[in-house]
Structures are given as C-alpha cells and as structure tokens.
C-alpha cells in the first residue's frame, strides 16, 4: 500500500512540475546546444524573448509530450523506489536518504534517457520558425520510432552513460538536501508556514541537485542533439568534452545554467510539496503517522521516540 501511495504521489507531483517548468527547460536546451560560432541567443532572457517572438508562446512548450508522459511516470518510479528503499534500509538517516535517492535515480535513467532524447530533438525542431515549414518529427513517440529505425536500440539510448552519471548522484543529493532542510526548518500539521517551508525545501533541493551535476547535463544535451543537422560532430563523451573545452573554454559547462536554476526552484518546489502533502493527507486519512511530512521509511516499522522526527517523505 505504501509503494502504491508513493507511486501515485510521484505521478501527480511529476505532472505538476512539468507544467510549471517546461518553458525554462526549452530555453536551457537551446542555450546548451547553440553554436559558439553563430550563437542565436545572447542569454537567458534574450532566448526566452526570441522564442516567444519568433515561434509564439507554443514554442516554449515544444516537446512537452515526452516529459509529460515520461516525467510523470519517472517521478512515480523515483518516489516509489526511494520510499521502498528507505523502508528496506530501516533507519531514516541523511546517509540512507542519499543512498535511497541514488538508487532511484539510477533505476529511472533507463526511461529518462530516451525521453530526454526525444524532448531535446523536438525542442530543436523548427528553430526560430513561427510555424515549422517541414517537421521531421510529428511528436515525441514518432521521434523515437524514427531514431530507432535509423540508428537502432543504441540510437534511442544515446547519452545513457551521461544520464546515469548525472542522475545517480543527482537524486542522492536531491533527497538528502530535502531531508536536511525539512529537519532543520521543522514543521507541524498546524504550522501556518508549513507549505511555504515545504516549497522552500523542495526548491532548494532541485537547485543543489542541478548545480552538482550540471556540467554532465551539458555534455548529455550535446550528445543527444548531435546529428540533428545531418552530421555528427562528436565521437563520444571524451571527444565532446575535449571539443567543447577547446572551442568554448570552461564556461561551456555553465551554458543555460541560469534558466535551469530559474526552472529548478518552482518545478521542484511544486513537485516535492505536492508529493509530500498528498502522502501526508492520504496516510492521515488511513490513520498512519501524523507528522507534517509522511515517513515511508517508518510507515511499516516500529518508530522509536528518537526516530519520530520530520523527514523528507
């Protein structure tokens, strides 16, 4: 029952997060993959402004089908696996929060990689056009099917290694930060600032996770975008890192960081608060632990007075 609740909460939280954050993600991808020789955008605001002016508001939501389908399911997996891992580890400690989050991040990479490949290709389609004259891909599913027919199984898993390197520690830091912040802030069901505290903890968790893994994300985006123009520039991860550093210097690993952090806070604040409140009220209705935050790690265990403290879930 606990796993089903975690899974359902992840679905709802993931969908809410996608709606809030996809425009920022589109800006991030455009900035990450633009050519240094002929850059289309001068920065985050100019990119956002150009997309709206040239492609209308719908341009900001290109490729949303893939993350709406994928991220909703991915968040369900992440929160389901993380909650189950915490129950198996048995003790709600910051280290166990990191380990449970890392295991969830590694597992969901299998779905995340193809989904982000389709999203990236869709976001780059019709670049700078208000109405695309010729669409290579009809939608995210069609994108993956076409890539599979052309490049096979390896093609739809382009960027899998970098996705694993990003997601495994990234989700560990994600859940660890949320756990530490919620413990530090403290809250009770009757705390008038409880929701604000949950939003703050969730937003900061997203920011800390992205900052710690962002250079890897830049390389992943470049590898997944490689070949869009009809030819491949990179022979692999090492070659992509080498060429990027040689042509653009170390600042290449900060391209799109501003839009990513602007997106990270509201998206993860929405996601974590939605998940936590959903689990809290569902378990409260079921007569389970009535802390301000649900505790899947303890829900099936006998909780000692020392353990009965607010945790991330």
List, for residues 12-58, the tens digit of each pLDDT value: 777 777 878 888 888 888 888 787 777 888 888 899 899 888 888 88
d(CA 187, CA 245): 46
Residue located via tokens 């455009």: 30
Q: Is the dihedral of CA 230, 122, 109, 149 positive or negative?
A: negative
The CA-to-CA distance between both ends of the chain, in Å, stands at 15
Tokens of 149: 């027919």
In this prediction, residue 283 has a pLDDT band, given cuts at 50, 70 and 90, of confident
Is the Cβ–Cβ distance between 202 and 186 less than 8 Å?
no
Q: Which residues contact 3 (CB under 8 A, 6 or more apart)?
A: 80, 83, 84
The structure tokens listed for 72 are 């909703």
- Give the tens place of pLDDT for each residue, 174-211: 999 999 999 898 866 678 888 999 999 999 999 999 99
pLDDT at 300: 31
Q: What are the DSSP calls for 12-40, one per residue?
A: HHHHHHHHHHHHHHHHHHHHHHS-SSS-S
> From CA 148, how far away is CA 269, in angstroms rounded?
35
Q: What is the pLDDT of residue 301?
A: 28
Q: Indicate the pLDDT class of residue 109, thresholds 50, 70 and 90.
A: very high
Q: Which pair of tokens denotes residue 266?
A: 């509201």
pLDDT tens digits for 232-274?
A: 889 999 999 999 999 999 999 998 898 889 889 998 998 898 8
Task: Give the tokens for residue 37.
Answer: 């020789």
Output b/e per residue, 69-88; b: 16+ Cβ within 10 A. bbbbbbbbbbbbbbbbbbbe
Could you tell me which of 109, 116, 215, 255 has the C-alpha nearest to residue 172? 109
Residues composing the chain: 313
142, with CB counted inside 10 A (0-12, 13-18, 19+), is middle
What does the alpha-carbon distance between residue 260 and residue 253 come to, in Å, rounded to a whole number?
12
């Amino acid at each position: 029952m606990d796993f089903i609740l975690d899974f359902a909460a992840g679905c709802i939280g993931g969908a809410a997060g996608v709606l809030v954050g996809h425009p920022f993600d589109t800006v991030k991808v455009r900035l990450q993959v633009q050519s240094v020789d002929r850059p289309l955008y001068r920065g985050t605001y100019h990119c956002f402004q150009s997309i709206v002016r040239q492609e209308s508001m719908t341009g900001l939501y290109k490729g949303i089908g893939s993350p709406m389908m994928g991220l909703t399911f991915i968040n369900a997996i992440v929160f389901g696996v993380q909650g189950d891992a915490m129950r198996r580890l048995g003790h709600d400690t910051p280290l166990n929060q990191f380990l449970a989050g890392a295991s969830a991040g590694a597992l969901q990479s299998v779905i995340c990689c193809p989904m982000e490949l389709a999203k990236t290709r869709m976001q780059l389609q019709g670049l700078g056009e208000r109405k695309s004259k010729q669409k290579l891909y009809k939608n995210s599913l069609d994108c993956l099917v076409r890539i599979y027919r052309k490049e096979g199984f390896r093609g739809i898993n382009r960027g899998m290694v970098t996705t694993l390197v990003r997601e495994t520690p990234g989700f560990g830091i994600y859940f660890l930060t949320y756990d530490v912040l919620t413990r530090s802030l403290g809250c009770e069901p009757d705390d008038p600032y409880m929701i604000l505290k949950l939003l703050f903890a969730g937003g900061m968790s997203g920011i800390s996770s992205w900052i710690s893994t962002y250079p890897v994300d830049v390389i992943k985006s470049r590898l997944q975008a490689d070949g869009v123009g009809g030819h491949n520039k990179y022979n692999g991860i090492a070659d992509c890192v080498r060429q990027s550093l040689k042509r653009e210097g170390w600042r290449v690993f900060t391209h799109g960081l501003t839009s990513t952090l602007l997106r990270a806070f509201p998206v993860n604040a929405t996601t974590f608060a939605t998940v936590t409140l959903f689990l809290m009220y569902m378990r409260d209705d079921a007569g389970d632990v009535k802390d301000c935050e649900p505790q899947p790690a303890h829900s099936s265990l006998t909780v000692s007075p020392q353990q009965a403290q607010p945790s991330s879930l």
